Structure formats: C-alpha cells, structure tokens
Amino acid sequence: MPQIPTPRRRMRTLMLSISALAFLTACGGGEDDGVDLSEYLPNFAAPAPVLGVVISGGFSGISGSTAAAANTLLASPEYQNTATTLTWLRNFLGDQSISGQLYAMRSSGAAFAHAAGVTGDGELIAISDEHLSPDHDVFVGKAVVVDSNYAAGDEHGTSVASVALGNSPDFVGTAPDADLLFGTYVTDADLISLGEEALSRGAVAWNNSWGFSGLYVDQSGFNSAFSGASGQQYLATLDAYAAQGVVVFAVSNDESEVDSGIMDGLPYLRPSLEAGWIAAVNGVPTFQNGTVASVDLLSSPCLQAARWCMVADGTWNAATGSGSSYAPTTGSSFAAPQIAGALALLAEAFPTLTPHDLRIRLLASAEDDFFTPDDTVELADGYFKGYSVIYGHGFLDIEAALRPIGPTVLSMANGNSVSTLEPVLLAGSGFGDAIEVGLAGTSVSVRDALSASFVMPGEALTAGARPGSQAGGLLAKSLRTNLSADRTAAPTALADPFAAFPGPVLTLAAPDGGVTASVLVPQGGADSLGFTLTRVLADGPIKVELGLKLARDSGQLMSLDGEDAATMASVALGITQDLGNGAFLALSGEMGLTDLGGATALSEATSARFDALKLTAGQSDIFTKGDRISVGVGMPVAIASGTTELNLPVYREGASVSFEDVALNLAPEDRQLDLEVTYQTALTDGLEMKLSLLHSDDFGNRADAIDTAGAIAFAFRF
C-alpha cells in the first residue's frame, strides 16, 4: 500500500470555561499559596492507536474500514453458503439443547483476514485424509498434489480440504488462495510419504482429521500406534516435520472421553513435539458484545492436550463429491482445517516468522474470557498464557492474531528497544503540534511481544501537551495577589515574569525600586522553579527594564519527554509608557534558550530558542476613582526555532525497514495568540474585585484550537 502523506487536519476545538466565584478573606493579607493548580496544568493527549496499523507482510493491511469490509464479505452468497443452521445441527445430533451462533467464517475471524487482503496466497497446506475429489469446483486452479493410492468413496477429505482452502464462486474456505498437498492416512507408508513431501515443500501445516479408535495417550496407545518398523518411521517423520512445521490433529468427537487420543495428545508422551503441535476441538460459540461468552462443546474436551489445544466452530456446509456439491457437516474434523488454514493466513501476513512462531500467535490470541484458566504456559520468553483443561487456550480468533499481541517495542540502531506502550516523546505545550506534524507521513517498524513486525504511524510515538482551560489559572493567580496593591501599583511591563508557570511567586524589591528579584516556588508536586532579576535601566514617562531569568520547567512546557525538567535561560526587555491621566502602554519581549530536558530515548540532547511577546494598554479611573482596566494581546512562551533528528526504523512500501534520521522542526507553525481584558476596582473599603477574561486562538500552539476563560475574584481585608 503506497505511503501517502496524511493531509494535516484542521479541527476547530472550543473550550469555554468560566470559573466559579471565589472569595478570599484575610487579616492583613490576600495571599493563599494552597490553591490547587491541577485543573489547569497541561495533560498529554493519548497517542494514535497502535492497533490500527499496517502489517509489514505486503498486504493491504488493517484499517478502520477493515471490519466493515469483512461484514460486506460475510453478507455475500459465497460466504453465507459455508454456514448451516442451528436447527440442522440440533436435528443431526439429536440434541435440542445446543445453542450459539453458527457462522465459522465470522467467528474464526477468517473473513476479517480476507478483508485485510490475507488469503493464504503462496502458502501450502498438507492434508492426510481418506479421499479427495480434486475436480470439485473449490479446487479449480489450485496446485493439488494427490497421493495416487487414495481410495474413492468417502468424501470426508474433500470436505476437510474445502474448509481449509476451498475457493469457488459458491464457497470460500479459511485460506482460499493457499495450495494443497493431499495424501491418504490408510497406511503408515501413506502418512510417511505425505509427511516427507510436506517437509520438503515447506508446508506450513499438516492437517489430520482422523485418529486411532480406542488408543489413548498412554504407553499402551503409544506402543500400538507406533509398533513395527513402519510405525517407528512414521514417528520419525512426525518428529522431523514438527521440528519445522505445525501438525494439527482433531480430537475425538465423543464428548464423554476422559483421556486424549494418542495422536492429538502425543506431545504429552513426547514433549519434543509440542512446539509443532495443535489439537483441535469442535464447539459452537455464543457471542456477547462481540466477544465469546461461552462455547457449547460438540467433541471431546482438550484433556491432556490442553496445553497445545484450541477450539473452532466445526459446523460447516462443506464441499462433497465433485462439481459443485455441498452438504452440511459437523465435527472436530472441520475445526482442525480452520486452524491449518489460519496458519497459512498468518504465514502470508508474517513472512519473517516460522510456523512455530505462528502457532504461538494462534494460541496466544485465542479468545479466553469465557473460562477460568486451570494453568499457564510460557508460550514465548516472558509471555504466559492461561489455558483450560476443557477449552485449551480458547476459541480461534484470526483477527486478534493479525493484530499486535502484548506491548510493542521500537528497536533502535544501537540495539536497545523502546517500549511504545506509552508515547516515547511527551512534548510540552511550548512545542504545540510541531512534533506530531513533523512525524506525520513517517511509518516506523515495531515488534509485538511475540516478535511480529508491524508498521506504526510515526505520530503515535508522541503525545503533545494539551493545556487545560485557563480559567483555573486566572483565578489562582488572582487569589495569590494582593489585589489592592496590584491595582494601585505603577504599571510595569515585566510585572509577571513567570506567567507561563503554575505556582506562587515571591517578589523582593530594593527600597528605590531599581532592582527586583522574583522566585518561582514549586508547589503541588510540580518541580517548576525559577529565579529572575529585573533592573530598571531608565525611569520616567518611559520606563525601560531588563530582566534575566533562570528557570526549570516541570516537563509540561519545554521538555521533550514530559518528565525530565527542561532548563531555561532568558533575557527580557520591558518598556512602559506613561500616557498621562492614568493611561499607560506596556510592551514586553522575552528570548531565551532551553535544553529541552536533555536526551530522550529517541534523540540526543539538543537545544532550542524560545520567545514571548505582549502588548498591554490600560486606563485608570474609568468608572470610578481608583479602578483600572487593561487590555492585552500577546504570544506566550513557545519554541521559536530549533531542530532535532530522530534515528528511527523507517518502513517504506516495497522496501525493507532501514534506520533513517528523521529531522523535526520543533517550532509550532501556529503560535497561541491571547487577548486578555482585566478590570479591578475597590467595591468598598477593604473589598477588592478583579475580573479577568481571556480568549486564546491556536490555544496550546495548536492550529484552530480555541480557549475562552474567565474568573472573578473578591478579596476582603480587615
């Protein structure tokens, strides 16, 4: 699928928040350092989902429309013709208590795989059975290799093979584009011949929908099954094939069995076979909210084979005879070829995985919420799965096997792995959407817990900070301020040196007012802190100030990882013009450098330049003597320039994954623009009011995001 850069979506987001009225009473003061700032601290957005990814096997991939496409397939005649009815099943078995939903192409997830473009193309399935009619419509165009000694009569093999890989205008099997290698099971020699051929041709699965009647998984059954020279040679053939491919055996259809058969349970006696073995149980699932809620078994349980066992719906309307004949049937014989077909689907989807890896994916992804596990098995290093003596690992779920299993990791060029369970880059609000925009259109390779490769959108590696509404911040800062002193103080452009930070500020001024020192105090678990020194260079109608600032951001503003504090150093210049009659004009600008919190998991340490700008006009004595109104417009602190390079395993369609340096511009394209109106007045002696209104365009330095907030604070001093 061509990698087409995703157009940048411009979505208008509106946040409107007016804070509740707040009253502060104090004796001789108006400060309160205990205000909770958590409501207006930035929150990091969730990353793009890893589940909606393209699998690096060369097919069209999983997208948001895959499920809808699967439903379209399931409604088509060739898919619906594979299903029979619950009425037929009850009458056929003479059991009216059977319940559930019969439609194996849906319940197995096979139709989902087909909708994603996975059909088993290029894969080979070996089947040992009694008889096959190669001229049936479902085998037309397939590379069918038939043992010349097969016995005509029973069409069991035709039906089994059709479930695994049949394909015609009237019927679709589990892996419709897979090829077939067929042979009989009549003699050990027949089985040996097919097993050796399957091994030499690289068949991903060897399906066996048969078993030895009355032979169980004990020493007596083992001796009977593998007696004589031919029996020992057959066992050696199983050893050789299971060391490379996956042997699938159907369990007994007798629900009353208390022991596994010798063939489906063989690894119980010969553990070396387990890595290449699956036992297949037949059951009808009942779904609730899209998941398996229960399974009505129609065959023997897993029993001793539980650790390598799983369930599939073995009730089908399968091919029989020649031409285009079909008939309803049920049994573990038809659960097994679904599992063999599923292995062919996964082999196409994950060409770098071995059949043993694929077997693990099927067992690991089987639906298991409908039972309580009896034990667990370590399917892969560090990956444990619970299983049931009755249902094994659960119900076949090909869709889940095509998706990432467990957490995904990003492999780095230095050999390290970075977990993508959480975003790797947590860009502060000073970056806006710059990181997401820079990574858009880049696809990176990740591996899941079972070593399957997936392609993840690059923007899923990051989550940018989304500041909460500014109403809480307006209120908190009003309540921390001596409102009376703030209203009557001479206007100054650098009056709020830590406007971008939460937390209280302590200020100390020299007696002549020529030098002012301010300290940002950490609060509420945040580790933001800072110190600024401001000196008046010129005083009079035009007041000029110079400020030097050192600060540490808690990770919400200038950090690239959201945790390590970013160090900031800046210089600020303020000019305040006294226009007379209580009017003033103030202009402030700030410029500095930040280390972005140091190195991240994806990049070396780098730095960037940031700046801020604000123009404020004000007037006193508007409505009543001593009141003050001010209107300000400005761009708060944000990254102004800076770049970094991320060395990533980049996936490109038609090419292998390679490590590339991806350059990122750290400056947001759209800077936040604030319009603020503040009105302060003394309502009566000792009762102050401050009303603040703030409207922000491109809020959080994100295109078209809007925040409108307001706060009103009252302070009574006595």
Query: pLDDT of 180-231, one tens digit each?
Result: 999 999 899 999 999 999 999 999 999 999 999 999 999 999 999 999 999 9
Buried/exposed 535-568: b ≥16 CB within 10 Å, e otherwise: ebeeeeeebebebebebbbbbbbbbbbbebbbbb
Q: Return the domain boundaries, the chain.
A: 17-52+465-717, 82-402
Q: What DSSP designation does 543 have?
A: E
Residue 7 confidence (pLDDT): 32
Residue 41 confidence (pLDDT): 52
How deeply is 513 buried, as exposed, middle or buried, from its count of CB atoms within 10 A (0-12, 13-18, 19+)?
exposed
CA distance 646 to 668: 18
End-to-end CA distance of the chain: 73
DSSP 408-419: -EEEPTTS-EEE
SS3 of residue 666 by DSSP: coil
SS3 of residue 342 by DSSP: helix
Residue 474 confidence (pLDDT): 81
Residue 486 confidence (pLDDT): 86
Residue 19 confidence (pLDDT): 46
Residue 426 confidence (pLDDT): 86
Backbone angles phi, psi at 302, to 5 degrees: -70, -40
Which CATH number is 17-52+465-717 given?
2.40.160.40
Residue 6 confidence (pLDDT): 32
* Paired sense of beta strands 417-419 and 409-411, if any: antiparallel
Name residues of the chain where pLDDT drops below 70: 1-61, 148-153, 524-526, 654-655, 718
Residue 149 confidence (pLDDT): 61
CA distance 250 to 209: 5
Query: pLDDT of 460-473, one tens digit each?
Result: 888 888 777 788 77
CA distance 238 to 247: 8
**206 phi-psi bin (left φ>0, alpha ψ -120 to 50, beta other):** beta
Amino acid identity of 557? L
CA distance 479 to 692: 12
What is the reported pTM?
0.78
Residue 152 confidence (pLDDT): 65
Residue 594 tokens, joined: 């930040």
Q: Tell me if 310 sits within 8 A of 394, measured CB to CB.
A: yes
Q: Tell me if 217 sits within 8 A of 260, measured CB to CB.
A: yes
Other Cβ atoms closer than 10 A to 304: 22
Residue 40 confidence (pLDDT): 47
Residue 150 confidence (pLDDT): 62
Query: What's the whole-number average pLDDT of the chain?
Result: 88
CATH architecture of 82-402: 3-Layer(aba) Sandwich (3.40)
CA distance 283 to 372: 17
